[in-house]
Structures are given as C-alpha cells and as structure tokens.
Amino acid sequence: ETGVTQTPRHLVMGMTNKKSLKCEQHLGHNAMYWYKQSAKKPLELMFVYSLEERVENNSVPSRFSPECPNSSHLFLHLHTLQPEDSALYLCASSLTQEGGTEAFFGQGTRLTVV
C-alpha cells in the first residue's frame, strides 16, 4: 500500500454516462496528479494540482473535468466519453521539496467505455 487510494478499481460506462473517479491520500502531500495509461503508450500526464490549485492541464479534452476540493482528495469527472478513452487512470501525490519530487501512486481505475 502506498497511501494513495483510488475508487473504483474497475468501471464500465456507456458513452452517454456521467461518472467520477476518486483519489484520496493522507500522506500530507501538497500536490496531486492524474495520469492516463493506455496500452502501448507512455504514461500521459493529464492534470496537476498544487495546494488545491490546478497548475497544469495538458491539453486534455473537456469531457474530462478534474476537481480538487482539498489537499487530500482529487476527483476526475467523466462525461460523454469515447471508446478511445478506455485506459488505466492513475492518481498520484507528492510533497514538493528540495531533492526531488517522488510521487506515490494509487492502484488505478481500469476504465472501459462501451
């Protein structure tokens, strides 16, 4: 266990559905991230939150909407997704400090869009 918990672990949704992914950490970290992991592609950074403020948004389609209500929780709201959005979505958190910014990852949510 890394201290980063993602729910649900698996999600199947239709293209017209609305769902949310949840991430939670109680490590005292001040930054949280969403990554997308597709088959045969490198991990793609989607969003970065630092101190609950979004500081990076890597050209992600608007059908993905992040929310960070506090430093311990991060959500990814999904609506009108496409089949190519099927992937493993990984949440991570870190403590920005001198000497490197290692991230701790959750186990991911396996999303299938049908």
Partner 1 sequence: AQSVTQLDSHVSVSEGTPVLLRCNYSSSYSPSLFWYVQHPNKGLQLLLKYTSAATLVKGINGFEAEFKKSETSFHLTKPSAHMSDAAEYFCVVSEVDTGRRALTFGSGTRLQVQP
Least spacing, CB of residue 44 vs partner 1, in Å = 9
**15 versus 55: smaller Cβ distance to partner 1:** 55
Structure tokens at 94: 């870190």
Q: According to the binding rule CB under 8 A, does residue 57 interact with partner 1? A: no
* Member of 3, 13, 20, 45 binding partner 1 (CB under 8 A): 45
Query: 5: part of which helix (H) or strand (E)?
Result: strand 4-7
Least spacing, CB of residue 103 vs partner 1, in Å = 6
* Member of 56, 61, 77, 114 binding partner 1 (CB under 8 A): 56
DSSP-derived secondary structure for 6-58: EE-SEEEE-TT-EEEEEEEE-S--SEEEEEEE-TTS--EEEEEEETTEEEEE-
